[in-house]
Amino acid sequence: MKLKSLEISGFKSFADKTIIEFMPGMTGIVGPNGSGKSNIIEAIRWVMGEQSAKDLRGTKMSDVIFGGTNKRNALNRSEVSMTFDNSDRYVKSEFNEIRITRKLYRSGESTYQINGVDSRLRDIHELFMDTGLGRESFSIISQGRVEGIFNAKPEERRGIIEEVAGVYKYKQNKERAQKE
Ligand code: ATP
Ligand code: MG
């Protein structure tokens, strides 16, 4: 499964619609301090369902919406879409391409979509759980997170390994079933 593109609009410093196309091979994102490199990684985490404003370096979730500069007014909506090539059926879906979208308005309204269809956060999580791409997986290690993984409690570290190994989904389903 390959990441094809990322579309960011109104998220953090990306006021205008910005499309990043990922070419085959490795992609490096370079730029001066404060130019938005970490914001790109956070856009990826956000569209995949990140729920912690703090982990996105904010205090409330609406902090991800472009807050304006001295030249430009704040925006009312943040939108991020990420498109994967799924022709190898890495993710259990009939689609060759999977596009997930998350939107958040200042009013608090929030939506997720999978290939244009309104979805629940849980659907997004299930899609990516056990692909090694989950929020807590090793695939995304942000500034400071390496240390976090080393300092994690053994149970937390086990959770990360279980997600990468592909058993986490079953554990979650079991826990949910036990609660219901
Ligand atoms: P470094 O090399 O220092 O790690 P970076 O390229 O990772 O820098 P980021 O941390 O991604 O940079 O970007 C920080 C910039 O994003 C800051 O200028 C900050 O003001 C801006 N920013 C963050 N949130 C918002 C927001 N909601 N609205 C507008 N700008 C924002
Ligand atoms: Mg950074």
| Binding site members for ATP | 32-39
CA distance 68 to 157: 38
Evaluate: CB of 63 within 6 angstroms of ligand 1. Answer: yes
Quote the Cα angle for 171-46-108, to 5°. Answer: 105
| ipTM computed for the complex | 0.98
Ligand 1, atom 25, lies closest to the CA of 12
pLDDT at 170: 84
pLDDT at 57: 94
Backbone torsions φ then ψ of 3, nearest 5 degrees:
-75, 125
Q: Write the DSSP assignment of 6-49 as a string of letters.
A: EEEESBTTB-S-EEEEPPSS------STTSSHHHHHHHHHHHTT
Evaluate: CB of 144 within 6 angstroms of ligand 1. Answer: no
Q: What is the DSSP code (8-state) at residue 164?
A: H
Q: What is the DSSP code (8-state) at residue 131?
A: T
| Binding site members | 32-39
Token digits of residue 71: 């030249």
Question: Element (H or E) spanning 3, and its range?
Answer: strand 2-9
Evaluate: CB of 38 within 6 angstroms of ligand 1. Answer: yes
- pTM of the predicted model, to two decimals? 0.83
pLDDT at 103: 98
41 alpha carbon to ligand 2 midpoint, in Å? 9
Evaluate: CB of 10 within 6 angstroms of ligand 1. Answer: no
Q: Which ligand is nearest to the CA of 10?
A: 1
- How does pLDDT run along the chain (180 residues), one tens digit per residue? 789 999 999 999 999 999 999 999 999 999 999 999 999 999 999 999 999 999 899 999 999 999 999 999 999 999 999 999 999 888 888 899 999 999 999 999 999 999 999 999 999 988 877 676 655 555 677 667 778 888 889 998 888 788 777 787 788 889 999 998
E runs forming strands in 17-176: 18-21, 77-85, 97-105, 110-114, 117-119
